[in-house]
Amino acid sequence: MSHTANKYGSAAARWAGIGPYYAMFPTAFADEIVSKFTRPGDIVLDPFAGRGTSIFSAAAAGRRAFGIEINPVGWVYASAKLRPADQRLVAQRIEHLGSVAASFAPEVDRLPVFFHHCFCPQVRQFLLAARQYLDWRGRIVDRTVMALLLVYLHGKLGDSLSNQMRQTKALSPDYAIRWWKSRDMYPPELDPVQFMLDRLTWRYAYGRPRGLQGTVYFGDSTEKLSQVAGVLNKQGAKVKLLFTSPPYCKVTNYHYDQWLRLWLLGGRPDARRTGGLHQAKFENRENYRALLQQVFSSVCRVLDEDAVIYVRTDRRPITLQCTLTVLQKVFVGWSVQMIDQPFRGQTQTHLFGGRSSAGGEMDLLLTR
């Protein structure tokens, strides 16, 4: 049975949705694809893992899963929900941050004006403590705390630590300030320690997922796939399902979207981003094609003979044709089926300015 059959009635269901992120697979859809094309014990690979929905669905269904994610926000989400720390230890860490937060009072005043409009002073102190003390790269407890903080960092007023803001995307500081001022809105006055402890009670109501065989590597797929291949080669194992959704061409910059969460992870206190080649909006179509070519060519070497490839992409020709052409070039002789995926709501393409009358995405299914 899918771990989403009862929406929040199990440990896996309560952790599957961490955290807010654009272009994420719907969990039920990921469960369906994993169930349809693999069996327990099979290996699933997603080189553009995002928040790790495909990896979590595979691991929760008894598969072995490998993912790669270049954005630290997505990587923290994916890694934390695959191996969340014990609730007691997480609570202790949150309480410790609260105990040292007051020492950051002088730094609170030096934060850019945006932060004063977004968070109350007590929350600002707490966030600075988290930014300083949480070793999210190296410690499971700290990574779990950070993942939960990232979830509630900004969003609906009353349901997050911030003033009113979209949960999935941090607005630009100047725009946000103007918007709040025009509506006479102020950051909520709350105790961040109690706020987070209350959220823990809900998150851990059914415990935590255990024994999930999933790993998400932090970095660029063009570099990290060799590491995944090395692990698989040592085990004499092959991938049964390549299940992924590459970033869309000329849609959005996922690092810009997450600038406030990236600040909490140690980044700049503003929306300016200076990422690498694969950390932008993919406005250069040749660079985009080269990325897909390199990643799918590397994946080709670790696929089993009867593997299945399932790629969700943008239906706009600029992305769809490029993705389809690369897949056909790399996987010569494979059968390609195009599966229309209409969506009644707004897709990420619409959210970032796409105005095509044809809503939804396009799935590409490749089999031998």
Residue 336 lies in a domain: yes
171 and 77 fall within a common domain:
no
Query: Does 67 lie in the same domain as 6?
Result: yes
d(CA 265, CA 254): 15
Query: Do both 12 and 115 map to the same domain?
Result: no
pLDDT at 276 over 90: no
In a domain, 272, yes or no: no
Question: 347 lies in a domain?
Answer: no
Count: domains in the chain = 3
Q: How many CA atoms lie within 13 A of 327 on its CB side?
A: 27
Look up residue 126 and give its two tokens. Answer: 């707490």
SS3 241: strand
Q: Are 96 and 70 in the same domain?
A: no
Distance CA 306, CA 60 (A): 23
pLDDT of residue 61: 97
User: Given the structure tokens 């995405």, which residue do they identify?
Assistant: 361
Q: Is residue 195 part of a domain?
A: yes
pLDDT tens digits, one per residue of 203-255: 999 999 999 999 999 999 999 999 999 999 999 999 999 999 998 876 666 67
Same structural domain, 92 and 65: no
Sign, CA torsion 192/85/72/318: negative
Residue 82 or residue 344, greater confidence: 82
Q: Can you read off the two tokens belonging to residue 157?
A: 């007023």
Q: Is 313 helix (H, G, I), strand (E, B) or coil?
A: strand
Query: Range of 59's domain?
Result: 1-82+240-246
Is pLDDT at 108 greater than 90 in this prediction?
yes
User: Looking at the structure, do residues 197 and 105 belong to the same domain, yes or no?
Assistant: yes
- The three-class DSSP label of residue 272 is coil
- Average pLDDT over every residue of 260-280: 79
- What tens digit of pLDDT does each residue of 314-362 get? 888 888 999 999 999 999 999 999 999 876 454 444 444 444 445 578 9
Do 158 and 68 share a structural domain?
Answer: no
- Model confidence over 301-311: pLDDT tens digits? 999 999 999 99
Query: Does one domain contain both 30 and 121?
Result: no
Residue 45 lies in a domain: yes
